Amino acid sequence: MSASPTARLRAGGRVRIVGLGDSLTAGWCVRRGFFPRACDLLEARVPGLVLERVDAGIPGDTARGGLARLPALLQPTPGLVLVQFGLNDCVEGGPLDAFRRDLSRIAVAVAAAGAACVLLTSCPVQDPWLARAAAPWYDAVRAVGAELGLLVAELALAWCAGEPGAEALWQADGVHPSDAGHARMAAALVEHLLAETDGP
């Protein structure tokens, strides 16, 4: 249903890219979050690509808040919108079906504006209880992506709590990534986006 993000990147030139999300997109308490890091990597990997970056991450935001903010972010029309929500929606305890509907509405509106849309699962979390609680919300992101035919960048799989040295990838709260965690997420995002663009 959406324009291909890989085609937008493959074309090179100037592309307006919007990161719509929460504190992870904003880069909470780190030098640089995954969004600007991924933009740097994309420009380094795709010849002639120049990204006009709009970091629309707001700490504490949810898919419902992102949906309300979206119209302003679609003027002028971006080439690519990265959508990252889930953890705050889970913690707030709203209905999972409402989250899915809001995420779908964001994706449909992005496509209707003529932009490409990529859904992102949020980062892994250190606490086993919260990880279990968040899993259905990450599954909902995947389900919306499958339903609408969208690329889903699996940032939640960039690392796991049992990985050797994983503690260094989180800040002290065990939820927000450190700079090293954001670097890992940025690399995972770029690999998703360029899995096709690096092809023939």
Enumerate residues 6+ apart whose C-beta is below 8 A from 5.
80, 116, 117, 118, 151, 193
Give the separation between CA 136 and CA 95, rounded to whole angstroms: 11
Taking residue 184's Cβ as centre, other Cβ atoms within 10 Å add up to 22
Three-class DSSP category at 122: coil
pLDDT of residue 86: 97
Strands (E), 73-142: 80-84, 116-120
Domains and CATH numbers, the chain: 5-197 (3.40.50.1110)
Contact between 88 and 24 (Cβ < 8 Å): no
Q: What is the pTM of this model?
A: 0.94
Backbone angles phi, psi at 61, to 5 degrees: -75, 160
Residue-by-residue pLDDT tens, the chain, 200 positions:
455 887 788 778 999 999 999 999 999 999 999 999 999 999 999 999 999 999 999 999 999 999 999 999 999 999 999 999 999 999 998 899 999 999 999 999 999 999 999 999 999 999 999 999 999 999 999 999 999 999 999 999 999 988 999 999 999 999 999 999 999 999 999 999 988 544 43
Give the separation between CA 107 and CA 81, rounded to whole angstroms: 9
In terms of Cβ atoms closer than 10 Å to its own Cβ (0-12, 13-18, 19+), residue 174 is middle
* pLDDT per position as a tens digit, 7-55: 788 778 999 999 999 999 999 999 999 999 999 999 999 999 999 999 9
Q: Which two tokens stand for residue 51?
A: 């990204």
